[in-house]
Amino acid sequence: MEKASFYEHIKGNKRNSVFLVSIVIGVIIFLGYIIGLLFITPAAGVSMAIIIAIIFTLLGYYTGDNLVLSSAGAREAKKEEYPYLINTVEGLSIASGLPAPKIYVIDDNAINAFATGRDPEHASVAVTTGALEKLNRSELEGVLGHEMSHINNYDVRFMMLTTVLVGVVVLLADFMMRSMFFGGRRDREGGNAQLILIVVALVFAILSPIFMQLIVFAVSRKREFLADASGAMLTRHPQGLADALKKIKDDNTKPSRTANKAMAHMYISNPFKGKHLWSTHPNVDERIKRLEGM
């Protein structure tokens, strides 16, 4: 893949971000409309849903990275303790032309890492102690190059925003289902039409969070392939990342209690070893094959 095509992929990521976020916002508005139709008024329901989405999005945009790092139990890496880690990240920052991200360490024996932040100027990279102990220099550089590429490709902002918005969909759907089961609907005339509306609303409330999660998982898998390729281009050594993925595949260490399913898609490898439709990551063997074919 040539360098020019990477820039096209970055532009495509931004376009896809707008498109996917628009879909999720559309679902939020529709859920608000149904809630309003059943319990208050359609206009009030839509307004409520939009206000909730805006509040959660702003909170996620400006504080999401801190929440992610805190929930993972990440601590800031000190140069006197982790000199090679910090020097490697700084070197990759110079090579990529990106500002140096903040660097964190997670006390976890599993081999993993993730990047977070709303843009390259406000980004962070976190690496597990398992990765630092079990990977050699070339492999660790490959993993860090992958995470730096997520920052450069604006993947971290996109996934943070979609996670927040999908959370809003789940929140609204849960509110609607609880309200329908425990009462609170407006009394309306309409007989069968009202019954049909309730059934449609119930089905939509059940399926919409699942549909949203599938979209996020599918896009996350595609972005992992792009980060693998662009990370290999950054380090000029695709075999390093391929060897790291082999070690990750063979690593049977159980995820720590800090691993969170809501942020599993942010790691270089799913800490819960998801498979097939519900996996946040593409097949490891396929990733290794592509890297070794570069």
Domain residue limits at 52: 3-292
Q: DSSP string of 196-259?
A: HHHHHHHHHHHHHHHHHHHHHHHHHHHHHHHHHHHHHHHHT-HHHHHHHHHHHHH--PPPPTT-
Structural domain count of the chain: 1
Active-site pick, 76, 147, 189, 224: 147
Predicted TM-score of the model (pTM): 0.77
Q: Mind listing the pLDDT tens digit for each residue in 279-293?
A: 667 788 888 888 888
* Ranges 5-9, 99-103, 290-294: which has the least confidence: 5-9
At 283, the amino acid letter reads N
pLDDT tens profile 143-198:
999 999 988 888 887 777 777 777 788 888 777 777 766 655 555 555 566 677 67
Residue 147 a catalytic site member: yes
